[in-house]
A and B are shown apart, each in its own frame.
Chain A
Amino acid sequence: MILRILEEGQYEVPDEVVDALNPLDEDLVAAIEAGDQARFQRSLAALLERVRESGSRVADDYLGPSDLVLPPTDASLEEVAEMLSEEGLIPG
């Protein structure tokens, strides 16, 4: 699967690794819902680290979209919550 870490680029990650990311992903959602900054930072860092270490960078000129998109490494909880609610951020 192709995953994008925002502000960093696309990674090709084996499917079984993506499955293993789910608990961290769920934890991230729970952290956002609870407004728990520390937990959010921890889960995000762990999630991105797993993608980086098990994925390989996709060539810069690859034109395909990503299957999954992850927040930038220094994203705050508020920013991510805003991305989810406000689509106006992204130019067509």
Chain B
Amino acid sequence: MSLMRRLSMVFKSKASRALDQAEDPRETLDYSYERQLELLQQMRRGVTDVATSRKRVELQAEQLQANATKLEGQARQALEQGREDLAREALARRAAISTQAVELKAQHDQLKGEESKLVDASRRLEAKIQAFRIRKETIKANYSAAEAQTKVGEALSGISEEMGDVGMAMQRAEDKVASLQARSGAVDELMASGALDDMSSESDPLQAELDRISTGSGVDRELERLRGELGSSQAKSLDSGGKSGEEQK
């Protein structure tokens, strides 16, 4: 049987179950309205949560970018002083940072997507709730309990479907955000461990070793590039027998 039809039945059966609850169908309207407002509140909290996660990722990305820039400067400095080993280490760290930065960018895009999806959904829900409130008051004012049944059913069926959709969307968004948060927590841990730090700090443990393993040959290419950039000026000072600081007395 058609998937589109089966899915629509799943939503309809829920809606009709909600309808059976009250003796006076008009009470069902008030009950549903309360649920709608609750859901809208939840929805707005959901949007805030996602925005918070997104901002956190943005901060992480900024920090990584700053560290990467600093490390490049440090590598340059190290090379200028003939300390290729240190330059290598700085570039290795920078490579590790780039990997994380790509990952963060992907997370950020995903969070942004979830955020705008939830914002759109709450806008739709809010518009429907408004329309429902008006319809609800009309029904309560114009129909007896006996007459109201069909009208109530009509008013409820569409909004129940919307609520089902929104409820599911929130659940899915929460799941996605939770898994993204776990990943951005991992970046926090990496940052805390110093693996993604620049080399200004004193505490500088085994991470360099790990970085070397994780970065491989990219470092050699980067070294070449930097050498090229430094090239001419340093070559001259080397020819004359030393670094600029300790030239002929």
Tell me the A residues contacting B by CB distance below 8 Å: 3-4, 6-7, 9, 21-22, 25-26, 28-29, 32, 59-72, 79-80, 83-84, 87, 89-92
Contacts and interface: CB of A to CB of B under 8 A. Distances in A.
Contacts of B13: 87
Contact of B169 (A28, A68, A72, A79): A72
Contacts of A66: 8, 11, 158, 161
A80 B131 CA distance: 30
B131 A32 contact: no
B87 to A, nearest CB: 44
A6 B168 contact: yes
Interface of A: prevailing SS: mixed
Interface of B: prevailing SS: helix
A87 B10 contact: yes
21 contacts: A3-B4, A4-B8, A6-B168, A6-B169, A7-B168, A7-B172, A21-B4, A25-B2, A29-B2, A64-B158, A65-B12, A66-B11, A68-B5, A68-B7, A68-B8, A83-B168, A84-B7, A90-B14, A90-B167, A91-B163, A92-B14
Interface stretch (B117-125, B182-190, B219-227): B117-125
B132 A90 contact: no
Interface string B159-170: 111011101110
Contacts of B12: 65
Contacts of A79: 172
Contacts, number: 116
Contact of A89 (B4, B8, B120, B168): B168
Given A6-B7, A7-B172, A65-B15, 17 more contacts: A3-B4, A4-B165, A6-B169, A7-B165, A7-B169, A22-B2, A64-B154, A64-B157, A65-B12, A65-B157, A65-B160, A89-B167, A90-B163, A91-B14, A91-B39, A92-B15, A92-B35
Which of A29, A60, A64, A71 lies at the interface centre, i.e. has the most chain B CB atoms within 10 A of its CB?
A60
Given A7-B165, A9-B124, A90-B167, A63 B172 contact: no
Contact of B127 (A3, A60, A67): A60
A29 B167 contact: no
Nearest to A62: B158
A69 B135 contact: no
B76 to A, nearest CB: 44
Interface in B5-47: 5-8, 10-15, 17-18, 21, 35, 39
